[in-house]
Amino acid sequence: MRLNFNVNSETKELELNSNETLLDVLRNNGYTEVKCGCNEGECGACLVLLDDKPVNSCQVLAMSIKNKKVKTVKGIGTLFIPHIIQKTFAKAGADQCGFCSPGMVIASYSLLKENPNPTYEEILEGLDGNLCRCTGYVKIIEAVEKSAELINEKN
Amino acid sequence: MLPNEIEWYFPSKINEALKLIKRQGVILHAGGTRILKTQTKSVKGLVDIGGLELNYINEKGKSFHIGSAVIFGEIVKYSRETGNLKMLGTALSNAASTPLRNRITIGGSLKDFPLWSNLYAPLIALDAKINIINSKNTIIPIEDYVSKGIIKSKHIIKEIVVPSDKNLIWGVKRFTLIRFEYPLFNIAFSLKMKDEIIEDARLVITGVQGRYKRFKRAENILAGQKLNEELIGNCEKLITPKFIADYKYSAEYKENVAKVYFKDLLTEIAGRK
Amino acid sequence: MFKYVNKPIEKIDGLALVTGNEQYTDDFNFENMLYVSIMHSGFAHAVIENLDDSAALKIPGVAEVLSYKNVKQILYTTAGQGFPEPSPYDTVLFGRTMRYVGDNVCAVAAESKEIADEALRKIKVKYKRLKPLLDFEKAEDSKIIIHKDDGAFPKIPVYYDASKNMPSKVEADIGNFDESYENSPEKIDLTFYTPYASHCALEPHASVSYIDNRGRLVIISSTQVPFHVRRIVSHLVEIPISQIRVIKPRIGGGFGGKQEVLLEPIVALITWRTKRPAKLVLNRKEVFKSTRTRHQFRTIFKVGYNQDGKINAFHLDALENSGGYGSHALTVLSNAGSKTLPLLNKIENVRFTGKSVYTNLPCGGAYRGYGATEAYFGYGQIIDIICEDTKQDILEYYKKWSIKSGETSPIFKALGEGKEGVAMTVTSTSLNQCIDTGAKESDWYAKKKLYGANSDLNKNNRYKRGIGMAALMQGSAIPEIDMASAYIKMNDDGSFNLHVGATDLGTGSDTILAQIASEVLDTPVEKFIVNSSDTDITPFDVGAYASSTTYLSGKAVQKCAEKIKEQILKVGAEIFGSKIEEVEVEDNKVKIKSPNDSNSLEKISFEDICRYAFYQNNQFQIQATASHVSPKSPPPFAAHFVEIEVDTLTGIIKVLNYVAAVDCGTPINTTLAEGQAEGAIVNGLAYALFEDYYFTPHGKMLNDTFGKYGMYTAYDIPPIKVKLIESYEESGPFGAKSISEININGALPAIANAFYNATGKRLFKVPFIPEYVLKILNY
């Protein structure tokens, strides 16, 4: 069937089945920036914002989110208009293979929106649903700290 | 994978929802995190609770009424912003992960009660009550919900009623090696004090054989006493939680470390005055 | 000293990755594409008596079923290695004998994944169950023979004996170990165990294939070895290499797990037969169970030494669990010796005895560290034991006895990768400075004094603290075997196309190879358009393994860029009307070295150089290629210092601090080099403290999800400090060696040594889970 969804501030008709997860629906409709790492809600690669809250899209049944707003990493910043967080991540070396990066950016974006001056502990909690095997997290945490600094400077 | 042709229902009244789940293969959908893991081929229909107005946290007197659609993340946020429900908020802040806490609901987690649940121990320690709707509207202690098998029946959870922890001394602790893990057990203690004397104690562990246990013998020797090292030592001897071995840990190890954590938590609480 | 190299330059694909703009294999979709599902064996050891796919084939939307009934039983090895491979040809795509839970039974290709899964459920398979062999220590003499009469054979003339369940045996003997050991006043004889592990690359294995407009087979795959994929697919699908193109897009991590040709032949067969695109993406459970793992190892160390600490005799005996098939069996086994024993090269009597055995368990393959990680667990403790026993300072001990610049070890020649090893001399090391820096950063001496099993701090304390260290080495590429090449052409705006076969798994090799070319040509990294790992467009490279990309592929790029420089200077000289010796490159331009007033032109931009070459006179395309094979494998070195706290009531080990001082020669990109070290360290910590495969009594893996297997989040990491301590390796590009593997080797021995410091007890089995720790403490 086809239903209207609000993705990245656009209302679009997406193709879906009644049993599909939001991850499946997004990827099948061209939003391949949302990644699948485990399909079990354990790795965070599939993170999207649902009404501004980060969720594992592989654990959300698409039919249940009808009137909610979905944001993927491209709704936060794009290659030509990247968000400060994305620029900072790239500069800090917080992305190696990049597979966890969209999810990390979404988690960081949501964290910093809620809490523009997070403590170290609060950053760790904000990232507690995102796995990374390449970086050992060190530069990711640094990137979030730096992002907070830069966003606050800007404001 | 759920079967291809699933019917979705979006009722706006609880009675509607109740009628629907009485049908074969039709179940409630809250956050959906457990459905994808436990329910597959047998599901024919999903009843979404989003329209049932169960998303609220209301303070009424000395208790908090939390609607069953409230997500863990909301309780954590509420407890940090208002200073209320700190015990529950602390326990839930460790559950799963940030994105999962944005989907796991109180109702869904109560109905499911996996061994690693972070929810039950603090609720039992707080003597919380659960308001369920089947043929009628009933309010029962959380313990009865589990021990009397009501958890298995077809019903809709309206809300839980959680007494305030403001005048309690409490502690929560769970066993994990790393942050994102299914905890071996969760312990939660709450002590009602009058001056330096313990009026009432509730010591709970979940994850044991039979899902949960109140350390009633230890609670009894605590009542009427001052919390000191000797008392904690006497309590410890009465702690005999029984676990089932799994492929990672033996039952004996779990029992020993539960004892250690029990003592650690009581000692920690005793240190706070 | 350098302008573009040894700098923290942002990855050229960095912004594209963090904005979700890069494509991984599963992001490619084609019209009319088929989706593939695989049926895996639920039995550890069984023979398929019958397979009935008739019901499945009747389902609308099912295009093809592959099984032993319609797939030629061609033997090969899944190992992505140079040809002829040192791994035995003991695998077929879809055979009749299942050798581990996870082995391939059959595959279905259908219009959707749902239909493919449904079709799998309708395939009826009748098995004859056989007794599984699940204990690798009993494999050699077992009556259960895992490769029986299946024609499996070694591709090169190395040891292979399926009748003993032994896909490999490796030995090296230097001096007279027996006599020297017997005569040593002090003797050690200790056994250590390291377990299975999964790479847990966040992107699951994935491959897509299609037929292009001219009828050639194109494979897009999440692979570390595109050229080996092409060759092996040609072998299995029985079509010429010229008919196949393999492209590696972005990959979501590999760590060795994708140095294996597992999915590509399956999609290739389906596409070749149906002429339709085919996609196969494994789910996480399948990645855990049916792909490759780190080999389980038992290492026995017999060491004879004197009371002054001098080691006379050193015997490392290694037993490797290869699982159902022998990919990487010989090479991982051999590396257990070749990447450890040369570290203390002054030992006169050294013996290495290694055996690899088949079992009916998941298959070992390449995994970061590649045998060294498993051997360093015992090796690093042995040195600590000797130092504790002879009351020596372990830092001074390593400084005294470790291999120095200008020195060699007979092990280099004695232990190769199937062929004879390569004798070589170490020509760069800063290990002593690494040790000193690490000691300073970790406050080693003060902590050593403060801690100790009988210290005031620890004595009656439930929480005991300790500090431990280990010195490490690895290698850089496989000498005389691995080859890398590069191609560069210039464009008429002063930019360049840089084509390399080298495989970027997220390591950032595209970036660092551009940096190397930048440094040669004195032109910014942005001027290079990098294309990598496309077998039609990029020249050959063995792929990303053996820590070879910076050292080997980088050298090929350096040589190629030098040739380009020559051509640019030649054009510049022609334009200036001067001799080539009189001109040089500087900052995107060609200039006269010592200009005098009669020259009206002082500098010509690269843009003008190329325009001249394209359009004006003696026109030609400025382009060059170069290849590189290394006669040696210069080891990177490292010293790791770890501080821990042990809860003696629960057995939980908490890591308080981790310092790593690393010698990778010249770090081409300091941010990326640190990132490699940090990632490897965290992986090493997880391996030390909790990673393992838990099996049922029938050989089925139980903990096959991230949540059950255990993965660190940002929450769990201790403070980690990485210090890059430069040395200069002449044979490497601008002095570079390698860094990608070595740092995973430190956690096991350093934590174990810290544990001894804290408690006075030794750990012999990895992972150091709480129940095991308690057992050791209370023994």
pLDDT tens figures, C178-220: 999 999 999 999 999 999 999 999 999 999 999 999 999 999 9
> What residues of chain A score a pLDDT lower than 70?
none
Residue B68 shares a structural domain with residue B43:
no
Calpha distance C458→C449 (Å, rounded) = 12
Which CATH number do you get for residue C53?
3.90.1170.50
The chain C residue lying nearest B251, using CA atoms, is C771
User: C451 lies in a domain?
Assistant: yes
Examine the fold and report which residue of A75, A92, A126 is the final residue of a domain before the chain moves on: A75
C352: nearest Cα among C389, C315, C395, C404: C315
Q: Which residues pair with C736 in a beta bridge?
A: C665
ipTM comes to 0.98
Distance CA C193, CA C377 (A): 8
- Closest residue in C to B261 (Cα) is C650
How far apart, in whole angstroms, are the C-alpha atoms of residue A110 and residue A51? Answer: 11
Closest CA to C408 of C317, C356, C338, C478: C338
Together in a domain, C599 and C660: no
**A62 and A90, same structural domain?**
no
Structure tokens at B134: 């089947």
Residues C357 and C377 grouped into a single domain: yes
In this structure, how many other beta carbons lie within 10 angstroms of the beta carbon of residue B245? 11
Do the bridges between strand C186-194 and strand C296-305 make them parallel or antiparallel, or are there none, so unpaired?
antiparallel
Give the chain A residue nearest C676 (alpha carbons).
Answer: A135
Do C301 and C444 sit in the same domain of this protein? yes
Taking each helix axis from N to C end, the angle separating C394-401 and C372-389, rounded to the nearest 10 degrees, works out to 120
Same domain, A49 and A92: no
Show residues of chain C in contact with B180, CB under 8 Å: 706-707, 711, 713, 715
Query: Where are the extended beta strands (E) located within C383-527?
Result: 463-473, 483-490, 496-500
A3 touching chain B per CB within 8 A: no
Gyration radius of chain C's alpha carbons: 27
Domain annotation covers residue B121: yes
Q: How many domains does chain A have?
A: 2
Partner B contacted by A55 (CB < 8 A): yes
Cβ–Cβ contact A40 with B under 8 A: yes
For residue A111, give its domain range.
84-154
Nearest-CA distance B115 → chain A (Å): 18
C15 and A82 in contact by Cβ < 8 A? yes
- Could you tell me the CATH number of the domain that includes residue B152? 3.30.465.10
Same domain? For B147 and B64 the reply is: yes
CB contact C671 to A (< 8 Å): yes
**What is the 3-class SS of chain B, one letter each residue?**
CCCCCCEEECCCCHHHHHHHHCCCCEEEECCCCCHHHHCCCCCCEEEEHHHCCCCCEEEECCEEEEECCCEHHHHHHHHHHHCCCHHHHHHHHCCCCHHHHCCCEHHHHHHHCCCCCCCHHHHHHCCCEEEEECCCEEEEEHHHHHHCCHHHCCCEEEEEEEECCCCEEEEEEECCCCCCCCCCCEEEEEEEEECCEEEEEEEEEEEECCEEEECHHHHHHHCCCECCHHHHHHHHHCCCCCCCCCCCCCHHHHHHHHHHHHHHHHHHHHHCC
Q: Which residues of B touch C707 (CB under 8 A)?
A: 180-182
Question: Residues C506, C621: one domain?
Answer: yes
Number of domains in chain B: 3
- Contacts of residue C326, Cβ cutoff 8 Å, sequence gap at least 6: C77, C87, C88, C90, C167, C168, C356, C358
Chain B nearest CA to A7, separation (Å): 18
pTM tops 0.90, yes or no: yes
* Residues A63 and B8: beta-carbon distance below 8 Å: yes
User: Distances from the Cα of C459 to the Cαs of B260, B263, C290, C652, in angstroms?
Assistant: 20, 21, 47, 18
- Residue A126 touches partner B, C-beta closer than 8 Å: yes
**What does the pLDDT read at residue C23?**
97
- CA distances to B205, B214, B271, B273 from B190, in Å: 12, 12, 14, 13
Q: Are residues A9 and A61 in the same domain?
A: yes
CATH at C600 = 3.30.365.10
Q: How far is CA C716 from CA A106, B241, C654, C695, in A?
A: 20, 28, 10, 26
C175 vs B164: CA distance, rounded Å: 77
Minimal Cβ distance to C712: which of B1, B4, B178 = B178
Residue B1 belongs to some domain of the structure: no
pLDDT of residue C599: 58
In a domain, C145, yes or no: no
Q: Provide the pairing of β-strand C603-605 with C589-592.
A: antiparallel
In a domain, C163, yes or no: no
For A45, name the nearest residue in chain B, comparing CA atoms only. Answer: B99
Q: Domain holding A33: CATH number? A: 3.10.20.30
Structural domain boundaries, residue C258: 18-130+205-281
Query: C560 and C581 share a domain?
Result: yes
DSSP C750-774: HHHHHHHHHHS----BSS--HHHHH
Pair (A8, A70) in one structural domain: yes
Q: How far is CA B190 from the centre of its chain?
A: 14
B178 interfacial to chain A (CB closer than 8 Å): no
- Please count the structural domains in chain C: 3
How far is C-alpha B265 from the chain's CA centre? 18
H/E segment holding residue C211: strand C206-211
pLDDT value of residue C597: 59
Residues B68 and B157 in one domain: yes
Q: What is the largest CA-CA distance in chain B?
A: 63
Task: Spell out the residues 6+ positions from residue C400 whose beta carbon is closer than 8 angstroms to its own.
Answer: none
**pLDDT reported for residue B39:** 64
Q: What is the pLDDT of residue B112?
A: 85
Query: Is B194 found in the same domain as B266?
Result: yes
Which CATH number fits the domain that encloses residue B21? 3.30.43
pLDDT attached to residue C38: 98
Are B105 and B182 members of one domain? no
Mark whether C567 and C676 lie in a shared domain. no
For residue B243, what are the domain limits?
A: 169-271
The answer to whether residues B101 and B39 belong to one domain is no
**Strand, helix or coil for residue C737:** coil
Residues B94 and B137 in one domain: yes
Q: Do B37 and A53 touch (CB under 8 A)?
A: no
Given a contact cutoff of 8 angstroms between Cβ atoms, the answer to whether C262 and C204 are in contact is: no
Q: Which residues of chain A are within 8 Å of residue B4 when distances are taken between CB atoms?
A: 17-19
> pLDDT below 50 — which residues of chain B?
none
Cβ–Cβ under 8 Å, residues C519 and C666: no
Q: Is the domain of C82 the same as that of C231?
A: yes
Contact between B35 and B46 under an 8 Å Cβ cutoff? The reply is yes
List average pLDDT for each run of 10 residues in chain C, which is 779 residues long: 96 98 98 98 98 97 98 98 97 98 98 96 98 98 96 97 97 97 98 98 98 98 98 98 98 98 98 98 98 98 98 98 98 97 98 98 98 98 98 97 97 90 96 98 97 95 98 96 97 98 96 98 98 98 95 98 98 94 95 73 92 97 98 97 98 98 98 98 98 98 98 98 98 97 98 98 98 96
Structure tokens, C437: 């820096």
Of C412, C757, C405, C474, the closest CA to residue C638 belongs to: C474
Residue of A nearest to C508 (CA): A96
Together in a domain, C537 and C463: no
Question: What pLDDT score does C418 carry?
Answer: 82
B183 vs A: CB within 8 A: no
